[in-house]
Amino acid sequence: MEVRPHRAIRTVRIVAVLIAAVFIIGGIFLNRGSTGVNFRISDQIAMIGIGLLLAGGVLMLSRPRVRVGARGVVVRNILGDNEFQWKDIRGISFPDKKSWARLELVHDEYVPMMAIRSNDKLRAATAMDKFRELGAKYTGNTD
**Cα 21 from Cα 78, distance rounded (Å):** 23
Length reported for the chain: 143
- Average pLDDT along the chain: 87
Examine the pLDDT at 22 and tell me if it is beyond 90: yes
Q: Name which of 19, 79, 29, 78 is nearest 50 in CA terms.
A: 19
Put the strands of the sheet holding 72-76 in their side by side order: 2-3, 65-69, 72-76, 81-84
Whether this model's pTM surpasses 0.85 = no
Q: What is the mean pLDDT of residues 40-65?
A: 92
**Cα 92 from Cα 140, distance rounded (Å):** 16
> pLDDT tens digit string along 114-131?
888 888 889 988 998 998
pLDDT at 73: 92
pLDDT at 29: 83
